């Protein structure tokens, strides 16, 4: 018996011959079992190896994903260079949560402030457009709390009667104090001058002799004089040097070393000072174009362009202010301004709602003069401002009213030699000086200033004027404006009647019209409707006609009967 078989059958006698077949069968069965056992064992080993390999791959991926957390940083003896990942994780999470809470709270406060600003602007009829617009002022005290305004300036405002900011002042002042450029449109008499002078005075802080620091450009000499006077009132008690660029100043030999804090001028005079007298505007930090729509007219556009180029300071802040702001002016403004804020008070290009407007049909030129005299005979409530379309007509109407025992005066661009001579005769006391051309010009300007001052002082009841003083002139107590001659544009109408009803006061505007003016009546009726005044409904049914400087040839102003030949020779 084989060794393996003997082990199986130890102690038993087994007849191999007798049971040879069975034994052989039994022995094969055992070997096959062994083979299958070995095969199954190999399969188990292989499957276990595969599982171990898969686990190793998964572990490697897991380690790679969490490498920073899994590998702790080593510590250097004496101090810890890095904190372990296990201890840093909760600290980082807490810091992130705190930061997120802080940011969300700030964002919430920011949106709440935007909502409050929107409601406040809606209440005061303020319309703005632009990016990151500063919040409007609630009162003048905020100038100190938000922007550090000096007590001296606030005291001057209080003494001048400024109790609360007007809508244009509420928004334009913060915009300019934030260093943003601005173009603003607000009704006449709404306080635009303070809206740009106050930020300039606050930004300049102290007087300096370092060149010209701020420039204000006005379309007329009268408005430039008024602006200079108002600037000096606001800066009372300070050492700011505020200068009006007069003709005498321009006649200096050299202006290259001229310096002041605020310079006020008309466009042509400033252009001549820069070109011929070498005035340096390269240090100007603030440029204001007052009554900008008038300044951007074709006659003044080249002068304004040269002034803007001369103000070459890269950090300059430009601003435009007017009661009317046509679309083409906005387009021009955007070409010279950067990231500007647009501020509109009320409806754009509309008359003030504090002025009661009325249309009166007079039929003819004779009818207008009769209607004016009848109105004065019934109720003359001075001061009254009368607008005509030309200098000649201003003289004619003055001649007619001066015989009616009315304190009347006229203001226009030129002055006759006789008037200038009489002026110097009074001033010089008959010294016998031979007058030159420059003397006549000085006399003309002085008489214009005197006419305005007398009207303000109440010495003159009725002032006859052309559109030269319709722009920006502030006559605080004008009770009535009479458009004796029909205005030549919608803007001219808005600026004319805006001399009344200023600073919250009420006023009246009467427009006389004849048959020649009827085709353009619809334009005025639309303005009356938009500003809330009563208007003739039939005028809105007229055919719409686009006017371009409506200045018809009118008959001379006179009640004296004339024949046809004289009338044709004396049309204005």
Which stretch, 168-172, 511-515, 538-542, has highest mean pLDDT? Answer: 168-172
In this prediction, residue 562 has a pLDDT band, given cuts at 50, 70 and 90, of: low
> Following DSSP, what letter does each residue of 178-199 receive, concatenated?
TT--EEEE--TTS-HHHHHHHH
SS3 state at 125 = coil
- Could you give all domains of the chain from N- to C-terminal order, each with its CATH number? 108-345 (3.40.50.300), 355-415+453-540 (3.40.50.300)
Cα→Cα distances 374→20, 371, 410, Å: 160, 5, 20
Residue owning tokens 């504090």? 354
- What integer best gives the mean pLDDT of the chain? 80
pLDDT for residue 527: 87
Q: What is the DSSP letter of 76?
A: B
> Following DSSP, what letter does each residue of 433-459 receive, concatenated?
PPP-HHHHHHHHHHHHHHHHHHHHHTS
Rounded CA gap, 33 and 30, in Å?
5
pLDDT for residue 499: 86
Q: What's the predicted TM-score (pTM) here?
A: 0.72
Distance of CA 239 to the CA centre of its chain: 29
pLDDT for residue 30: 46
Of 233-247, 279-293, 353-367, give the lowest mean pLDDT range. Answer: 353-367
In this prediction, residue 100 has a pLDDT band, given cuts at 50, 70 and 90, of: confident
Longest dimension (CA), the chain: 178
Residue 130 has pLDDT above 60, yes or no: yes
Angle at 501 between CA 495 and CA 506, to 5 degrees: 150
Cα→Cα distances 535→483, 508, 510, 511, 522, Å: 16, 14, 12, 12, 10
In this prediction, residue 193 has a pLDDT band, given cuts at 50, 70 and 90, of: very high
In this prediction, residue 541 has a pLDDT band, given cuts at 50, 70 and 90, of: confident
Q: For residue 193, which phi and psi values (nearest 5 degrees)?
A: -60, -45
What pLDDT, in 10s, does the model give residues 146-174? 999 999 999 999 999 999 999 999 999 99
């Amino acid at each position: 018996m084989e060794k393996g078989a003997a082990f199986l059958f130890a102690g038993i006698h087994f007849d191999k011959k007798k049971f040879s077949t069975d034994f052989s069968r039994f022995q094969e069965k055992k070997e096959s079992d062994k083979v299958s056992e070995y095969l199954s064992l190999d399969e188990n080993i292989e499957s276990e190896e595969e599982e171990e390999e898969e686990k190793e791959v998964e572990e490697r991926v897991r380690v790679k994903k969490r490498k920073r957390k899994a590998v702790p940083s080593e510590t250097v003896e004496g101090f810890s260079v890095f904190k372990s990942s296990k201890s840093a994780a909760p600290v980082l999470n807490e810091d992130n949560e705190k930061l997120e809470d802080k940011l969300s709270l700030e964002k919430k406060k920011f949106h709440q402030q935007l909502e409050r600003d929107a409601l406040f602007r809606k209440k005061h009829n303020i319309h703005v457009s632009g990016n990151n617009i500063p919040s409007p002022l609630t009162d003048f005290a905020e100038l100190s709390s938000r922007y550090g305004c000096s007590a001296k300036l606030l005291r001057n405002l209080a003494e001048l009667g400024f109790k609360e900011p007007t809508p244009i002042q509420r928004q334009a002042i913060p915009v300019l104090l934030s260093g943003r450029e601005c173009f603003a449109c607000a009704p006449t008499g709404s306080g635009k001058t303070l809206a740009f002078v106050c930020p300039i005075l606050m930004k300049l802080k102290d007087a300096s002799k370092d060149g010209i620091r701020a420039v204000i450009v006005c379309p007329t000499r009268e408005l430039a004089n008024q602006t200079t006077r108002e600037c000096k009132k606001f800066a009372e008690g300070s050492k700011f040097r505020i200068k009006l660029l007069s003709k005498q100043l321009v006649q200096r030999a050299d202006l290259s070393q001229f310096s002041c804090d605020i310079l006020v001028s008309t466009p042509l005079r400033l252009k001549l000072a820069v070109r011929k007298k070498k005035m340096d505007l390269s240090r100007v930090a603030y440029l204001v174009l007052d009554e900008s729509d008038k300044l951007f007219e074709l006659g003044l556009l080249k002068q304004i362009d040269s002034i803007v180029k001369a103000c070459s300071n890269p950090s300059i802040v430009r601003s435009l202010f007017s009661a009317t702001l046509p679309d083409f002016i906005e387009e021009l403004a955007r070409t010279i301004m950067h990231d500007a804020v647009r501020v509109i008070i009320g409806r754009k290009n509309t008359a003030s709602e504090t002025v009661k407007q009325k249309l009166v049909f007079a039929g003819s030129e004779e009818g207008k003069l009769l209607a004016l005299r009848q109105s004065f005979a019934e109720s003359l409530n001075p001061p009254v401002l009368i607008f005509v379309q030309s200098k000649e007509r201003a003289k004619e109407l003055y001649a007619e009213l001066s015989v009616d025992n009315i304190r009347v005066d006229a203001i226009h661009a030129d002055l006759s030699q006789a008037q200038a001579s009489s002026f110097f005769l009074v001033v010089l006391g008959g010294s016998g000086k031979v007058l030159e051309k420059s003397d006549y010009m000085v006399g003309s300007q002085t008489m214009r200033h005197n006419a305005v001052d007398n009207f303000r002082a109440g010495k003159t009841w009725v002032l006859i004027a052309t559109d030269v003083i319709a722009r920006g002139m502030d006559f605080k107590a004008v009770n009535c404006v009479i458009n004796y001659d029909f205005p030549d544009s919608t803007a001219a109408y808005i600026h004319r009647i805006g001399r009344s009803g200023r600073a919250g006061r009420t006023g009246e505007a009467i427009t006389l019209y004849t048959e020649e003016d009827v085709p353009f009546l619809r334009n005025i009726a639309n303005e009356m409707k938009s500003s809330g005044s009563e208007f003739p409904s039939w005028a809105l049914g007229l055919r719409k006609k686009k006017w371009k400087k409506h200045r018809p040839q009118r008959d001379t102003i006179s009640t004296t009967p004339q024949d046809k030949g004289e009338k044709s020779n004396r049309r204005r």
